[in-house]
Structure 1
């Protein structure tokens, strides 16, 4: 039987002569002409003859399951040619190619397949390698890496070759068994840790929160304080793991020797002769060491020197058991912000919570717009005067360090020194929050990310005098005195912040009255020549405080309420901004950017530069063009709901891309590049309003493109007409009381029957009945997709005056029109046509001007078929 006819590809060795040794190769390269010959003459002989595997150890292609893997942006079905097993587990796989094929083209799909295989095993990654070969060239890769660890030509497969010895040490049957024995021994003394997605960590935090609250007989706020201490020790343990095993912690799963893990059940069990060792040993050791740093004025206080963790040993053990396998330092920068949000979300209203927590993508966008400068001759000093849990400060520190590390002109020693200077002198935070103490939480965060929190202060940044309260403890008054000196002697290059919107200062208390009267911005609306302000929003007061604290030419990057940028009542505030700053950029954020805080305030990020002199008049002499950009995804990538949906991953990617694009365009704008003309607004445009919607955006931008592609474009008034309700369809609240059912329109564009009430109980003076086939537009929520075609089951439901009821004109399919009205392009134009700031309204007088293209007939027909099919399925599943 020939070698090619043998299903396992076995061949007899050729005898060697005594005069000169011939290489003992698996086969000759000239015999390899296609993929099939590479499998039969090379791979089969390699696996079964050379490496010592039995038939039962090897799965061939026909018995291997295919999986969907990603290649670039595409997803394809793929399976390798061989999977080699030991002890019932896959250990390595092989993909054979024709001799003329480039192996680089197949690395991604092999790696993706390997990751999917290992993903099917909870506590291990059995498949350790994949092999790519075209006969002429063979490469070995670790399962989670795209770079080969071994590369061999066909001539290297001589058993006397050192490269073949390396190959066999990795992949022979005997070598795999040795590796498994070592792994089993190691497994007994290691812990498999994971880099889990943020949603999973949030669930674990929530579980711990409920467990502590239910089992510890402790309040929500007190539970948070104690859990922070435990998680702080967890993060210290993870920080130690990163220092000891920096190359391991980047993997999705990795094994760490238990002796290197302090936050583990094993560590507690080994100290069973000690009561509550996490508190009495670990926490006490940290406090003792940290107290020395405080005395040397290198750190500021985070915990009391005599503090303990006031949770029972059983509760701490359960929390350790829940969290020990998760590596938290890779989660995101503001870990304590996540923790804080999880706990306080159970006890505080969302809008109150919102003053402490800024979405991560908003933080990253603000940091990108700041464009920090750092080098030998200059390093920006950064301030967040309402720093919350420290998210902006941590991201700023990371950005500054990254720029230091990437500076090729600096020596290693210079980089080390500059990193230390930045961490301890150039990042400053202030926060007034005391219950819980936000400054301490921010210090904790900064400490864990490389800065001791030496310049995080507990104070009211709006108090220009920083008046001490005699009732405060000595250490707090000492810190306040230090901050007063710092702010007197130093001004900042950059202020990066998200100020609280809900807080106001008024004249009802002596302290707030004294603070308020220090603000020039409060005198913009004088009344009878006297001090006029009875109350003023802290976010408006901060605009003046930014100016006080910045160097001339310094920059503010701050979240701001769009009401300040565009509302009529805040026109004097905009006058104040123009008189003291040069407006560099306004970046609009989505209306749901702060949805995690249950806040629907429409916001933007404003970039201001402190002007050399204050000029209430003639601002145009120094004000140049303004960069304006409208974000669609920043902020909404981190939804408030607990359930994770596939769209969340997509929105996170879109938010990252949007941040990169916005920052890149802003750099071009600052360089004077004409390529950003579409995002450039002339200074005259901000003479009144400053919001992106008013100054930069115009509806119907796509009309020329539609028309150029041969589409007919019509105003909405040519496709829809307002319904003139019959007398019997108008229900007067003050007339006869009758039972009615509200029509509810969801954001997904579907209608359903809502609450049943008696008409006399309605808050709206008039209700209108709608009928099947009517097109109903929510005046407030149309921009979010709340537009519907009334279904039969909702015939006779009622709507208030906050809805516009229309009917499609003859020959217009209402459902096709519904699709067009809910398209992103139409909703964007509806937003521009809407009235109001923040809580916008789309009234018919504005919506009638919306321009829509008429799709081709074949597309309309296809849409009708799809909609009708969807209706049939909906009715099938919902029942009669």
Structure 2
């Protein structure tokens, strides 16, 4: 082309700069639209437009133009740009078809009136329903004065469309949508409805219905993520998002418009495109597999539309970062959720506290690499990502470029997750979680982390083998700085199968020293195996922060596990969690968080240990779905406790005095390692009471046992005060009523049985005034004084029955034993790691201050008055019932006979 021609210029650019399509858009179309008077908010670029099925000759394809122009929030015309050497004619049909599709979505009228085709050299204006252009302009016609330029401005400026007064029924392209934040209970209720809707309509199994639902929720989350990133979205103070409806794919309006082109558009178009895009990322090794090749969303159009209608207005992306974990917990039943395997999901506050204790390092010269080798749905992974990104963003010494590089490095190279579960595939759900939070799950693996050899099998696909090889290489060549995890508590590996036997043979902990030989154990809990596995995976000096069953820290059978820990690690911290911390997972397991540092060499000495006992962390997540005001209070209390523990641990690491009260000597963990055994001790207030002038006595000096005490049963029945009240079941067929003592300190009648049916070898008849102490539940307040009406009932050996010594009233001792101070001391002195037992040997040694005569008499009188009022209240109830029954004949012999004849057994 002659140089003189290249040098030609119009009002927008030199012709020479127009080459490919991108340059035509940048130097010609963008400037043209600005000159016509369109604001940025009125110009919709290709990326923000919805692909539609359009006609191209005899073929059909998914298509969207390069630009769409809005006036009054309604698309009025579109632009298709091409390279300067491309002919416009072959593309006219698809642009016209796109305009037709938009107009077809409106019930009244056709808002899209024109489209423009241009390659810079030639620009043609079409009315949407005509095959020939109504105006053609050459490059030179754009000079600001030509007749064609004036005509173009007249028919295509914003004012020209506004003056036409377009008005129609709302459609996807002209209305806005509101996407609002929702509470956890509202989300859970919506999810429950959707899951049940799918389960019932599609005849799927419970788990299969769940996995199809996960696919739909994934599309919803992607849509919400795009909305949050869309500059067209406006956010109100309460977090509500307002966005043009045509920017939202996850909506019934989008489905209704697309139904003209596809019978099931969400499944065919949205999910189909998603799977294809992910497959391309997998092929490039940028992502790990989430869905199988060619996997489909196997739900009917009606079912999908119902789920979309239920969820479209809710903002899921702004929910708690472990949304998918919550979703998973909500819908899988106990077996699928892994309860039988001990696989419990970690409360968010526990995750946050553990991550705080992990103290993940992010600096210019070093970024920690973390791993959770039993990651489940990815809670620890997401929290680590959030924590490390926050440290990057908060570092004022970093440039924007440095921050961006560090964030990408953290997301793609520093956070590793593993999960073995295949049905359901937890690792894939974790990948979804990470994908939606900036990573894509590129370092989440589905394999058995406890197999140290990470063995592949011939039946596995090349993709699976490559995945294992990739992790094995990282583990063997670089290792990890931090393991942050909550391994399953109850799952065991046993030598009954070849696979598990071969894995056990890899573990030092799977063998016990027996004289001169090493004897293999028959089975080993995976939680114990993970301690050894993480030791292998961590670099010297690396930190293991793990939730652990307290039985490992203090149980007699786990001594050798603790010995292994002391040999291989420096114990930095043990933080006790409340007994109800895992109530949402219906797990009755007392747990702690431990921080262990891998030794650099075997001779490295144990240092003092930070210990703390939490009372609020974990209990902020309740099993019930209904939200109560107390839940917000518990959440704030848990957050405050996390902050306190984190600050104290930092003070401990810095050697500050703030943490002295929460520090124990190194030799304190030579036996047990649990906080209860090492930090607090019973009798801590004895000196204070004595200094205040109070007389301090042991319970054994105020009570003497009549039944259930170890020292008495050893002497035989003849040493018991009332031997005549002993019932020997093997020798007695009389009916007896078992005594029960409630947590509130009230004794009541229990089951009536034939004495010989009792599983106990001896029972004891109680009398009025006896003090009865539960061995199992005394720490909960299960101590009672027997009233007259319960005299003659029998207590089992799970109780100690006592009589007050001279000078001490049973009501006084009863009240003292039920005080928080007494129960706390009993708890600290108790044995066992599960249900806390306190026998007479422990109770008798409990020391308590003796109140003055005046205080004692006042306390006893108050109890006597209360019991008198209770008896009066009971008499009034009975009088009311008799009066009503007599006046209306509601209590008669025939009614009583019918009850006696037909009432079901208790």
> Please, what TM-score do these two structures have when normalized by structure 1?
0.72
Residue in structure 1 matched with residue 468 of structure 2 by the alignment: 480
Residue in structure 2 matched with residue 201 of structure 1 by the alignment: 187
Preserved contact between residue 341 and residue 353 of structure 1 (Cα < 8 Å): no
Residue in structure 1 matched with residue 617 of structure 2 by the alignment: 634
CA distance in 2, matches of 1:411, 1:870: 75
Q: 1:421 aligns with which of 409, 413, 436?
A: 409
Structure 1 residue 608 displacement after superposition: 0.9
Q: Does 1:673 align with 2:656?
A: yes
Preserved contact between residue 431 and residue 460 of structure 1 (Cα < 8 Å): yes
CA distance in 1, matches of 2:380, 2:492: 23
Preserved contact between residue 485 and residue 545 of structure 2 (Cα < 8 Å): yes
Residue in structure 1 matched with residue 458 of structure 2 by the alignment: 470
Q: 1:841 aligns with which of 828, 837, 840?
A: 837
The change in CA–CA distance for 1:766 and 1:485 in structure 2 (over 3 A counts) is same
Q: Does 1:765 align with 2:752?
A: no
- 1:561-585 CA-to-partner distances (Å, cap 9, x unmatched) read 2222222222222221111111111
The change in CA–CA distance for 1:702 and 1:253 in structure 2 (over 3 A counts) is farther
The change in CA–CA distance for 1:674 and 1:794 in structure 2 (over 3 A counts) is same
Preserved contact between residue 816 and residue 863 of structure 1 (Cα < 8 Å): no
- 1:783-805 CA-to-partner distances (Å, cap 9, x unmatched) read 34444455677665544322333
CA distance in 1, matches of 2:576, 2:318: 29
SS at match of 2:520: coil
SS at match of 2:306: helix
Residue in structure 2 matched with residue 292 of structure 1 by the alignment: 280
Residue in structure 1 matched with residue 299 of structure 2 by the alignment: 311
Preserved contact between residue 171 and residue 253 of structure 2 (Cα < 8 Å): no
Residue in structure 2 matched with residue 689 of structure 1 by the alignment: 672
Q: 2:391 aligns with which of 403, 410, 432?
A: 403
The change in CA–CA distance for 1:682 and 1:730 in structure 2 (over 3 A counts) is same
- 1:321-356 CA-to-partner distances (Å, cap 9, x unmatched) read 333333233432221222222222354587436414
The change in CA–CA distance for 1:736 and 1:270 in structure 2 (over 3 A counts) is farther
CA distance in 2, matches of 1:740, 1:348: 44
Residue in structure 2 matched with residue 301 of structure 1 by the alignment: 289
- 1:209-239 CA-to-partner distances (Å, cap 9, x unmatched) read 3343333322122122112112222222222
Q: 2:313 aligns with which of 298, 303, 325?
A: 325
Preserved contact between residue 219 and residue 270 of structure 2 (Cα < 8 Å): yes
Residue in structure 2 matched with residue 107 of structure 1 by the alignment: none
CA distance in 2, matches of 1:195, 1:791: 56
Residue in structure 2 matched with residue 516 of structure 1 by the alignment: 504
Aligned pairs for 1:831-870 within 5 A: 831-853=827-849, 860=859
CA distance in 2, matches of 1:867, 1:648: 34
Q: Does 1:778 align with 2:761?
A: no
SS at match of 1:666: helix
Residue in structure 2 matched with residue 625 of structure 1 by the alignment: 608
CA distance in 2, matches of 1:336, 1:509: 33
Residue in structure 1 matched with residue 83 of structure 2 by the alignment: none
The change in CA–CA distance for 1:472 and 1:658 in structure 2 (over 3 A counts) is same
Preserved contact between residue 712 and residue 854 of structure 1 (Cα < 8 Å): yes
Aligned pairs for 1:230-629 within 5 A: 230-244=216-230, 248=235, 251=238, 255=242, 257-273=244-260, 274-348=262-336, 351-352=339-340, 354-526=342-514, 529-615=517-603, 622-629=605-612
Preserved contact between residue 238 and residue 328 of structure 1 (Cα < 8 Å): yes
Aligned pairs for 1:816-831 within 5 A: 820-831=816-827
CA distance in 1, matches of 2:192, 2:493: 34
Preserved contact between residue 591 and residue 838 of structure 1 (Cα < 8 Å): no
Structure 1 residue 185 displacement after superposition: 13
Which range moved further: 378-387 or 463-472? 463-472
Residue in structure 2 matched with residue 80 of structure 1 by the alignment: none
- 1:11-37 CA-to-partner distances (Å, cap 9, x unmatched) read xxxxxxxxxxxxxxxxxxxxxxxxxxx
SS at match of 1:368: helix
Residue in structure 1 matched with residue 200 of structure 2 by the alignment: 214
Residue in structure 2 matched with residue 228 of structure 1 by the alignment: 214
Preserved contact between residue 567 and residue 837 of structure 1 (Cα < 8 Å): yes
Query: Where do 5+ consecutive residues of structure 1 fail to align?
Result: 1-183, 616-620
- 1:77-116 CA-to-partner distances (Å, cap 9, x unmatched) read xxxxxxxxxxxxxxxxxxxxxxxxxxxxxxxxxxxxxxxx
- 1:343-374 CA-to-partner distances (Å, cap 9, x unmatched) read 22354587436414112221111101001110
The change in CA–CA distance for 1:792 and 1:205 in structure 2 (over 3 A counts) is farther
The change in CA–CA distance for 1:714 and 1:248 in structure 2 (over 3 A counts) is farther
Aligned pairs for 1:165-204 within 5 A: 189-204=175-190
Which range moved further: 850-859 or 260-269? 850-859
Preserved contact between residue 349 and residue 617 of structure 2 (Cα < 8 Å): yes
The change in CA–CA distance for 1:244 and 1:792 in structure 2 (over 3 A counts) is farther
The change in CA–CA distance for 1:541 and 1:270 in structure 2 (over 3 A counts) is same
Which range moved further: 679-688 or 770-779? 770-779
- 1:755-777 CA-to-partner distances (Å, cap 9, x unmatched) read 45444333333344445665443
Residue in structure 1 matched with residue 632 of structure 2 by the alignment: 649
Structure 1 residue 277 displacement after superposition: 2.8
SS at match of 1:227: helix
Structure 1 residue 715 displacement after superposition: 3.4
Which range moved further: 583-592 or 189-198? 189-198
- 1:534-559 CA-to-partner distances (Å, cap 9, x unmatched) read 22222222222111111111111012
Query: Where do 5+ consecutive residues of structure 2 fail to align?
Result: 1-169, 708-720, 882-906
- 1:644-668 CA-to-partner distances (Å, cap 9, x unmatched) read 5554433333222222111111111
- 1:99-144 CA-to-partner distances (Å, cap 9, x unmatched) read xxxxxxxxxxxxxxxxxxxxxxxxxxxxxxxxxxxxxxxxxxxxxx
CA distance in 2, matches of 1:314, 1:407: 50
Preserved contact between residue 552 and residue 610 of structure 1 (Cα < 8 Å): yes
Preserved contact between residue 704 and residue 805 of structure 2 (Cα < 8 Å): yes
SS at match of 1:661: helix
Preserved contact between residue 432 and residue 439 of structure 1 (Cα < 8 Å): yes
SS at match of 2:263: coil
SS at match of 1:525: strand
Preserved contact between residue 377 and residue 429 of structure 2 (Cα < 8 Å): yes
CA distance in 2, matches of 1:787, 1:264: 60
CA distance in 1, matches of 2:280, 2:775: 62
The change in CA–CA distance for 1:252 and 1:413 in structure 2 (over 3 A counts) is closer
Structure 1 residue 309 displacement after superposition: 2.1
Which range moved further: 765-774 or 282-291? 765-774
CA distance in 2, matches of 1:643, 1:717: 47
Q: Does 1:660 align with 2:643?
A: yes
CA distance in 1, matches of 2:537, 2:502: 19
SS at match of 1:734: helix
CA distance in 2, matches of 1:354, 1:528: 35
Structure 1 residue 206 displacement after superposition: 3.3
SS at match of 2:731: coil
Which range moved further: 854-863 or 554-563? 854-863
Which range moved further: 483-492 or 770-779? 770-779
Which range moved further: 856-865 or 510-519? 856-865
Structure 1 residue 609 displacement after superposition: 0.8
- 1:292-322 CA-to-partner distances (Å, cap 9, x unmatched) read 2222211111112312222333333333333
